[in-house]
Amino acid sequence: MLFRLLVVFVVLLIGTNFVNYLLFSGQVDSTPAGNDEPRTIIRYEQRDRDLEEETEVFFEALDRITSNYFYSVDTDKLIEGAIRGMIDIIDDPQVRFYDPDELEEFLLDTRGSYGGVGIRIIEADEDIVVFEAFPDSPAERSGIVAGDRILEADGHQLIGEGLDRAVELLRGPSDTTVDIKVRRPGAEDPIEMTVRREEIQITTVTRERLEGNVGYIDVTNFDSNTADEFLERLKQLEQEGLEQGLILDLRNNPGGLVDQVVEIAGEIVPEGEIVRLVGRDGEVRNVYKSSAPGKPYPIVVLINEESASAAELLAGALQDRDAALLVGQATFGKASVQQLERLPGENAIMLTVANYFTPSGHNIDKHGITPDYEVEMPEILHYYRYFHPGRLELNDYGADVEMLQEMLTQLGYEIDTSGYFDEQTSQALTEFQVNAGIEPGGEFDDQTWVKLRETLDVASREQDEQLNFGLDLIKDPEPWNLIGGTE
């Protein structure tokens, strides 16, 4: 196994064409990847240079280290380190090496389901904290709530053990159980419970009906189930009536599997081109097309600086084909194509192999998509859900305190956003705690975090200027008469 991995490593070492060995047959591995595309064929020229001559220095260095170095070394780790070093030199944030454990975790993430209890966890103050319990999950049915700190799982202490260890203990096959001990905000004693694991289906698409009978679909990312979820939700809305229009929310969507985007676009992009795949030589490798007639109702797409990759492809196709108007802020700018290349020993490398272009030939990568209507949102309403600093109290200072102050200001409390936890901040926090119905103490703790997040969830919808602009746009007939550049 080591020799095979070494051979692969040597081939990878040969300059920018190191993919040659893996792709010489002309076939690209069709394994799903985080930003993968439908199965494609990509060809590279074979190099004529002498492989042995080019890799002589590497073999010599490896031999000297393993033969002469005073301390014992793990040759597998040396080779893995060399591969990771090559990836660092490439300096492409999308190119990654996966060891067997990392690969397994990655494939789980793209599958859209896993065996577990149905919670999202974060680490704070060396504790494992429940960020949210998924609706109708084993965790929710067992009474686990956001803010619970998980102290133990199956008798193993989790404090200071990190997220990976917690995930390892909480996940497992369906119909097995895990004993959990949690410390709940406001409770004196720990709570113990036994939770039965299930196959947790990650929901990436939600829908609702907004004022004025406008449909709304929010897509959080694109995994292997997203297209089916989207088409089902859209069908439900259309059956209820979508004459007024549809708002498609792609904000904060980091992308995912492009084959899912192509399937969705095949339903809502009018007949013709969706996206094109362009290789490193500028040649168009593939063009993905829609055969749909187009929708008879107006569509507004919400985007922001966190909309990336597959989300940008969908937004760009709708914009270029005059099928929707885009509202929000310029997108992230990531449209390079990654392909998962398997290596011996259950290792893998994610490689950038091409770029995607919109139907008009726009290269999104590193440029992003400019909305038709630029509408800003308060920054705090983008990032408040990621906020969990642990305990904050009088005389604390720093970015966490400043963010807390910005949250309270957004909710109407008049305080200075100085980053210093002063008496004014304590008084405002006490007032918030009273209004939220929790014990007022003027300090920020887990219970306050939960209530603050719930309050900002409501405020973020009420104060969502991008969504409100989209609603007004759908009701105004003039922009839809002008779409496509004709009056």
pLDDT digits (tens, 9 = 90+) for 32-70: 333 433 333 333 344 445 666 667 888 888 889 999 999
Nearest 5 degrees, angle CA 147-CA 189-CA 178? 65
Cα-based distances in Å from 400 to 56, 160, 421, 454: 52, 21, 10, 18
Q: What per-residue confidence (pLDDT) applies to 456?
A: 94
Q: Is 70 left (phi over 0), alpha (psi -120 to 50) or beta?
A: alpha
Flag whether the pTM goes above 0.85.
no
Determine the average pLDDT of the residues in 152-169: 93
- Provide the terminal-to-terminal Cα distance of the chain, rounded to the nearest Å: 67
What one-character DSSP code corresponds to residue 151? E
Nearest 5 degrees, angle CA 250-CA 255-CA 260? 95
Element (H, E) at 130: strand 127-133
Give the pLDDT confidence of 390-443 residue by residue, as tens digits.
889 999 999 999 999 999 999 999 999 999 999 999 999 999 999 999 989 999
Give the pLDDT confidence of 387-398 residue by residue, as tens digits.
888 889 999 999
Domains and CATH numbers, the chain: 2-108 (no CATH), 114-201 (2.30.42.10), 205-336+354-378 (3.90.226.10), 380-462 (1.10.101.10)
Between CA 94 and CA 237 the distance in angstroms is 36
- Which sequence positions are flagged as catalytic? 309, 320, 334
What one-character DSSP code corresponds to residue 392? B
Structure tokens at 22: 């893996």
Give the pLDDT confidence of 329-345 residue by residue, as tens digits.
999 999 888 888 998 88
- Across the chain, mean pLDDT equals 85
Q: What per-residue confidence (pLDDT) applies to 124?
A: 81
Pick the residue with more confidence: 20 or 216? Answer: 216
